[in-house]
Amino acid sequence: MKLKAEYMEKHLNISFDPCEDFANYAAYNLNSTFIKSLYLEKAKHVLQEHFRPNEPKSIQKAREIYHKCLKDMSVFNTTLSLLQIENIISELPVQFPIGIEQIKDDEMYLGLVGKLYNLLYSHVAGPIDDYTMHLESGDLFITEVHKPDFSERSRAWNAYCTLRDCKENRISTSFLETMNGTYGPPNISIIALKKLIKTIFEVDVPLDGVRIYLFTPVDHFSAHSSRSQNNYIGLNNFEFPQYDVSFPPMLTLSGPGFTMAHELGHAFGSRVENRSRELNETLHCFESFYENQCDPINSTNCVDSAKTIEENFADQMAVHLSYFTYKKSSLINGYVNRPRGKILDILTDDQLFFINLAQSMAPLFDWDNITSDDRHSPSSTSVYGYGFCLLKWIQLGL
């Protein structure tokens, strides 16, 4: 709870009037650009330090490269040639590209990938991560991985629909992507590959016994399937700073609670068949409300309220459900422990609820990384929208 209080106060900016600009008041420093700059500053600080006992070997290696670059920047621009890489991987007991017949089981495949990464990393083969190396594709350095043709995909989809009661003539894109990633040998799970990367590069290893919570971007995956009506909530929604067992309802319901309610809200939006007149009027109201929201720095970059209506509606449903659930919990359970701090102590429980909600949403979408074609509104617009509309709901007694 103490760390959470520090996190909340750190990202408040009381120079803004919360009645005029609540998004910047509650989460001024939580846009993706600022968080990345903090992370880079922290990384620079670590690299400039001298060796510390018990630190990850990957940091020691990165520090060596960093100090070489300080003396000669051309070192950073020097990457291994294809021939050099071929010589390095020749140390492995297989020939590249790897043929399916050479992979006897999943463990062998993971072991080979691990050795390859270690070899390339130890020879400074440039930046390596699971995106540039396409690690998650399931077919790294492998030829002849079987990709299902149309008839196979159709049969699989039909079989899936008999269980999920979905529309057989509309094959889900995500279903195909998942199928292509796991269809045929080697059947490597993404979880296993991510674990491999964390092991090799010592990702998430604490520095000085403390994880850098205040510098890592919030990443809380969630999704709703309109075909199966299933909701998917990632476990990272229940990690700090989003969640801790010590958090009171004002924090749990404005963090992961809001996320879950948002996905549930997708079941009641414009995709509902035989919509009532009231729902149509509500959707039209939301579309009109959001259509004039534009980037305060670039007035030509505006929200397309027709394309964002689903996400905006889900936000409105979520704040309604999460806020009134929190209020009901307060009536039943009375006073509960809450985050304390110089600024936090002068705020009400309700104000802390909305500050945490704004801080939870802020890093997800901002004007810098969103376009007019995006189906999400920028977080600052969402914060303004749900705050304004919820106030109207309360005034109407809804």
Beta strands 222-224 and 231-233 are antiparallel
Task: Find the range with the poorest average confidence among 10-14, 123-127, 353-357, 372-376.
Answer: 123-127
- Asked if 47 and 62 touch (Cβ cutoff 8 Å), the reply is yes
List, for residues 329-360, the tens digit of each pLDDT value: 988 888 788 999 999 999 999 999 999 998 88
Mean pLDDT, rounded, for 34-42: 69
- Asked if 272 and 35 touch (Cβ cutoff 8 Å), the reply is no
User: Measuring CA to CA, which residue among 116, 124, 120, 129 is closest to residue 65?
Assistant: 124
pLDDT attached to residue 134:
42
Beta carbons within 8 Å of 265's beta carbon, 6+ residues apart: 313, 314, 315, 316, 317, 318, 321
Structure tokens at 327: 């209020």
pLDDT attached to residue 75:
59
Sequence spans of domains, the chain? 1-31+212-398, 56-144+184-206, 150-182
Better-predicted residue by pLDDT, 29 or 104:
29
Amino acid at 251: L
Is 361 a residue whose pLDDT tops 80?
A: yes
Better-predicted residue by pLDDT, 374 or 82:
374
List, for residues 165-224, the tens digit of each pLDDT value: 665 555 555 555 454 444 434 455 555 555 665 665 555 555 554 444 433 444 566 877
pLDDT attached to residue 135:
40
pLDDT attached to residue 156:
72
pLDDT attached to residue 62:
76
pLDDT attached to residue 355:
92
Cis status of the peptide bond prior to 339, with omega within 30 of 0: no
DSSP 232: E
Which long-range contacts (C-beta less than 8 Å, at least 24 apart) are formed by 287-292? Answer: 289/385, 289/388, 289/389, 290/377, 290/381, 290/385
List, for residues 292-318, the tens digit of each pLDDT value: 788 888 888 888 888 888 888 898 889
Is 365 a residue whose pLDDT tops 60?
A: yes
List, for residues 244-267, the tens digit of each pLDDT value: 888 999 999 999 999 999 999 888
Pick the CATH number of 1-31+212-398 from 3.40.390.10, 3.40.50.850, 3.40.190.150, 3.30.70.600: 3.40.390.10
- Asked if 227 and 170 touch (Cβ cutoff 8 Å), the reply is yes
- Asked if 349 and 330 touch (Cβ cutoff 8 Å), the reply is yes
Quickly state the pLDDT bin for 326 (edges 50, 70, 90): very high
pLDDT attached to residue 204:
56
DSSP 370: -
Q: What is the overall mean pLDDT for the chain?
A: 72
Which H/E stretch holds residue 53?
none
